[in-house]
Structure 1
C-alpha cells in the first residue's frame, strides 16, 4: 500500500461522513474551522493545518483570528468572542485529555459547563463529534507521515 492510500475505503468514508455530519450539525462553518485548526495545531498535523487554513479563509475567518489562534486565551475578546472561546477551550480539553480523572472525567467540569452555556445539546454533541473527528484525522495523517500540500479545494 502506498502512503497516498491512507485508509480502507469504508473507513475513509465513515470518517468523512462523521466529519461532514459534525460540521453540518454545528451549523457554523467558520467556528468549525477554528476548532479543527486548533486541534491540528495541538496535534502538529501539518497536512490538516494546510488544508483547514485554506478552508477557513474561504469561510471568511479573519487573518487576525488565524494569526492569533495558537494564543487564543491571551487574545482579546475583540478577537475571539465568548462562544468561540468556549469551543476552543473544549477543543483543547478533549484533544489533550489531561484533566483529573478522579473528578469524573478528563474534561474539566468548568470547561464543559462553559461550552454547554453557549451551545444547545444538539450543537454541543456535534461540536464534540467534530473534535473527535479531527483528532482521528490528525492521527491518521501524522501516523502515515502525510506532508502538507496534497490538498486541493
Structure 2
C-alpha cells in the first residue's frame, strides 16, 4: 500500500497534542507493560501495522516474554500468561475499541475492569484506549508505513 500523506508532519500541532494526551494517559495508569499490552491489542483490532510494529518492539525492549506478545490476540485462551488485572484491561480494551453489541461497553466488562482498577486508574486506562484508537485511525487512514519515523 502507498503512504497517502505525512499526516503527523502536516498537522504538527495535532501531533504534539496527541503525544501529550497519550503520555498523560499512560502516566496516570502507572503500569508501562500493561499500557503497552493494551495499546498493542487495540492496534491489532484496528489492524494498524505501524502501531503493531512499534508496540511489539516496545514490549520486547521492556523484556516481556515473547510468548505473551505472540499470544495476545488469543489472551482469553492463554489465561496463564496474563494476570487477572491484565485480562480485565484487555477485555475492556476490546469492548471500547470495537463497540459491538449495540454500540456500548457491556456492564459486565466495565464492572470486571472496575474490580481491578480504582477509579483514577480506570479513567487512565480508558484514556490510554481512546488515545491509541486516535493514533490507529489516523495511521490506518494515511497508511503510515511500519518502522518509519512520524
Q: Structure 2-normalised TM-score?
A: 0.92
Partners of 2:49 and 2:106 lie apart in 1 by 28
Q: Which residue of 1 aligns with 2:42?
A: 39
Equivalent in the alignment of 2:91: 89
Aligned residues: 146
Choose the corresponding residue for 2:110, options 112, 115, 126.
Answer: 112
- Root-mean-square deviation (CA, aligned residues, Å) is 1.5
SS state at 1:146 partner: coil
**CA distance, structure 1, for counterparts of residue 23 and residue 77 of structure 2:** 31
The answer for the alignment partner of 2:136 in structure 1 is: 138
Segments of 5+ residues of structure 1 without an aligned counterpart are none
Structure 2 unaligned segments of length 5 or more: list them: none
Aligned to 1:117, the other structure's residue is in SS state helix
* Match in the other structure for 1:80: 82
Which residue among 51, 55, 58 is the counterpart of 1:52? 55
* Contact 2:75-2:82 at 8 Å conserved across structures: yes
TM-score, scaled relative to structure 1: 0.90
In structure 1, the partner of 2:147 is: 149
Q: Is the CA contact (8 Å cut-off) linking 1:30 and 1:60 kept in structure 2?
A: no
Matched, 1:98 2:135: no
Moved more, 2-11 or 67-76: 2-11
Q: Which has the larger helix fraction?
A: 2
